[in-house]
Amino acid sequence: MVLWVTAAGSGRAAELSHVWVDEFSEAERAMLVRWTEEAAAGVEALVGSFPMDVEVHYHRRDGAREPVPWANTRRGRVQGVHFHVDPGFPPSAFRRDWTAPHEFAHLVLPYVGRQHAWFAEGFASFMQYRVMTAMGVLSEEAAAARLRGRLARAARDYDYPDRPFTDAAARLRAQGRYPVMYWGGAAYFLQVDEALRSRGSDLIAVLRAYTACCRRSRARLEDLIAELDGLSGGSVFSAALTRFRSEPGFPAVPAAGEAAGRD
């Protein structure tokens, strides 16, 4: 694929710049830089180099119950990720945590606005275990099993059988029921991936082309969908969006896991 050659030819991985918001020792900084650079490289191994530099901000959260109790992306002129971390956890605990793969995956697509949070979160959730597989942290089987488990739980917890998912998503967010919104959104990307595979392509191939040619900081969801349809030479993305906006109940999950576990 021509676009892939362009991406490979450009050669260089995105530059991460590290911003220490709170105080960290030299050893802690070295450990945290290795952690975020490995996660960013895991995303780039799948979709190619980010066409922009990324600022990584580190906030200290001593005494937390997990290595990364909070994180979020900032999608301004500079694309950034803020990590709130407890550096008391060992490097292995950071590597096994899904947060950094999830946050860096967000940066593959432009910011499409708060009202489409289900789309952005669904995408990062769909990607996170694949990135962990690319990092060598999860086997393909383990990644597929986790994905299946999250989707099954979200489907069980979805209690808007009469509403299309995009309609329910805003309520789920308002109620703080994030896992249902995130994993319902992930089903969109499973559906798209499955449909692309039946045409001899897959979602990662389209993302690779998108990263190489078209990535921007912000986009209207409809414009992004049209762009992805264009790159894939069909209407898989817009057709899935139409289903998400019209079909009531939790989104169908095609062969959950099998599709996600491949490649």
Q: Which is nearer to Zn ion, 121 or 193 (CB)?
A: 121
Number of chain residues interacting with Zn ion (CB under 5 A):
2
CA distances from 250 to 128, 157, 188, 196 (A): 21, 9, 11, 21
Window contacting Zn ion (CB under 5 A); options: 2-10, 113-121, 163-171, 186-194: 113-121
Smallest distance from Zn ion to CB 199, Å = 29
Q: Which is nearer to Zn ion, 7 or 100 (CB)?
A: 100
CA distance 263 to 251: 24
CA distance 66 to 88: 10
Both structure tokens of 261: 């576990």
20, β-bridge pairs? 58
Smallest distance from Zn ion to CB 102, Å = 5
- The only residue of 39, 47, 112, 124 in contact with Zn ion, by rule CB under 5 A: 124
The residue with its CB nearest to Zn ion is 124
Window contacting Zn ion (CB under 5 A); options: 80-88, 114-122, 147-155, 249-257: 114-122
**Does residue 154 contact residue 250 with C-beta atoms inside 8 Å?**
yes
Q: For residue 155, how far is the Cα from the chain centroid?
A: 20
Q: Which is nearer to Zn ion, 100 or 231 (CB)?
A: 100
**Does residue 129 contact residue 158 with C-beta atoms inside 8 Å?**
no
By CB under 5 A, tell whether 56 contacts Zn ion: no
CA distance 142 to 165: 27
CA distance 146 to 257: 8
The 8-class DSSP code of residue 94 comes to H
Q: Which is nearer to Zn ion, 173 or 215 (CB)?
A: 173
Q: Which is nearer to Zn ion, 153 or 199 (CB)?
A: 153
Q: Which is nearer to Zn ion, 121 or 194 (CB)?
A: 121
For 175, list phi and psi in degrees, rounded to 5: -85, 0
Smallest distance from Zn ion to CB 111, Å = 12
Smallest distance from Zn ion to CB 173, Å = 12
Smallest distance from Zn ion to CB 79, Å = 14
Which residues lie near Zn ion (CB under 5 A)?
121, 124
